[in-house]
Amino acid sequence: MTSGSNVEEWASLAATPSVAVVGLGGAGCEAVQDLLTLGIPGVQAFAVNTDAKQLLATGVERRILLGQRELRGRGSAGDRGVVLRAAEDAREELVRRLRPFEIVFLLAGLGGGTGSALLPFLSRHLRATDTLPVPVVFLPFHVELETNAGRRENVEATVDELEQMGGLLVALANEKLRRFATLPIHRVFQVRNAYLHSMVSSLVDLIENPSQISVDLSTLKRHLRLSGLSTLVVGEHHISEPERLVHQALSETLLDYHLSPSASALVHLDGGSNLTLQTLDRVLTAFRQRLGEPRQLAFGTRVRPEFREVVRLTAVIGGLRSRTVRDALTTRGRANGPVPAR
């Protein structure tokens, strides 16, 4: 027999998976700072860097400085090797601090040494625990890669490693931000970080709040185990146009490039009390039209009065073929979908 209070304790433990966001290197730490500014309740933030000044400049409470012995508080200037040695020295501490979380978002701008080295390193070591790592990569502007072979090598090596590992991988291409070219550069990154904020919030919401048709952390993990390389898709739109919601959400990712015919999908909708089965059907049909008949399709819905006329889509699309992101790096001019400012 299980006592009542015990059940409540277990329910609350099971219902509140803990989530962390971890900024790696300069761009990653800036992104975590922006997420904190926008507010991510219940999510713990960490900043990890080899650059002590950058680390101090973030308002993130939990800071981890790496590589003091060789780098003496400076960045690595693109040297992944030195960062990997530092990470190996600090491996126990890093894993000990991150493994208590159910999901750990790892954010880094690719092309430097610190973020590019730490991202696959931590993903690999967290995968060996029960923690689900979600690597989020910011892909440099094409011009940065064309003019710097070392940077390109760093980006490609990191992307290859992450794609081979499989699991969830979110890639946000700076090239997609060109439509904001007249904004100051830090504002452009803030636009991207606002989009990232909607991704983190949607995923946290998905696993923390019970749905009518249930999708939870276990569903997500099972789905990922069966799906190989996957990515996260989010979007919001007026309830009258479910097809447009799907179209917009998909075009904001790198999925334009390589939809595998065997893709799998986990689709979740949040909407107001006017969210009907018909809306769900239209969303799923639109998904099938874009993805083909997925090998695996799971879906869930949740009604929330505050959504009124808006529907929010959170989806995990799996079965992406490897080299999706790497190919996108070399596909000039096709990364033209907007990243929405929320």
The partner in contact with residue 30, picked from ligand GTP, Mg ion, none with C-beta cut-offs of 5 to 8 angstroms by kind, is ligand GTP
Q: Shortest gap between Cβ of 27 and ligand GTP (angstroms)?
A: 3
User: Which is nearer to Mg ion, 75 or 318 (by Cβ)?
Assistant: 75
The partner in contact with residue 89, picked from ligand GTP, Mg ion, none with C-beta cut-offs of 5 to 8 angstroms by kind, is none
User: Which is nearer to ligand GTP, 175 or 270 (by Cβ)?
Assistant: 175
What span, in angstroms and rounded, lies between the C-alpha atoms of 15 and 140? 37
DSSP characters for 169-223?
-EEEEGGGGGGGTTS-HHHHHHHHHHHHHHHHHHHHHHHHS--SB---HHHHHHH
Give the CA distances from residue 141 to residues 21, 79, 197, 282, in Å, rounded to whole numbers and listed in that order. 24, 20, 21, 36
User: Which is nearer to ligand GTP, 115 or 319 (by Cβ)?
Assistant: 115
- DSSP count for the chain of H helices, then E strands: 14, 11
Among 30, 51, 163, 175, binds Mg ion (CB under 5 A): 51
Q: Shortest gap between Cβ of 246 and ligand GTP (angstroms)?
A: 28
**Contact range with Mg ion by CB under 5 A, out of 18-26, 154-162, 229-237, 307-315:** 18-26
- State which amino acid sits at residue 18: S
Q: Which of 260, 265, 335 is nearest to 300 (CA)?
A: 265
Number of Cβ atoms within 10 Å of the Cβ of 216? 17
Q: Shortest gap between Cβ of 175 and Mg ion (angstroms)?
A: 21
CA-CA-CA-CA torsion sign (246, 248, 254, 257) = positive
Q: Which of 93, 90, 122, 130 is nearest to 106 (CA)?
A: 122
What spatial distance separates the first Cα and last Cα of the chain, rounded to whole Å?
A: 49
Number of Cβ atoms within 10 Å of the Cβ of 95? 15
Q: Shortest gap between Cβ of 88 and ligand GTP (angstroms)?
A: 16
The DSSP 8-state label assigned to residue 261 in this structure reads T
Q: Shortest gap between Cβ of 201 and Mg ion (angstroms)?
A: 27
Q: Shortest gap between Cβ of 158 and ligand GTP (angstroms)?
A: 10
Q: Shortest gap between Cβ of 189 and ligand GTP (angstroms)?
A: 3
**Contact range with Mg ion by CB under 5 A, out of 70-78, 192-200, 308-316, 329-337:** 70-78
Binding site for ligand GTP (CB under 6 A): 25-27, 30-31, 50-51, 75-78, 108-109, 111-115, 138, 140, 144, 174, 189
User: Which is nearer to Mg ion, 29 or 132 (by Cβ)?
Assistant: 29
User: Which is nearer to Mg ion, 75 or 294 (by Cβ)?
Assistant: 75
Q: Shortest gap between Cβ of 79 and ligand GTP (angstroms)?
A: 7
- State which amino acid sits at residue 10: W
Q: What dihedral do alpha carbons 257, 137, 168, 216 form, nearest 10°? A: -120
What span, in angstroms and rounded, lies between the C-alpha atoms of 73 and 216? 41
The partner in contact with residue 294, picked from ligand GTP, Mg ion, none with C-beta cut-offs of 5 to 8 angstroms by kind, is none
Q: Which residues pair with 112 in a beta bridge?
A: 110
User: Which is nearer to ligand GTP, 17 or 111 (by Cβ)?
Assistant: 111
The partner in contact with residue 160, picked from Mg ion, ligand GTP, none with C-beta cut-offs of 5 to 8 angstroms by kind, is none
Considering only residues 20 to 39 of the shown chain, the ones binding Mg ion according to CB under 5 A are: 25-26
Q: Which residues bind Mg ion (CB under 5 A)?
A: 25-26, 51, 75
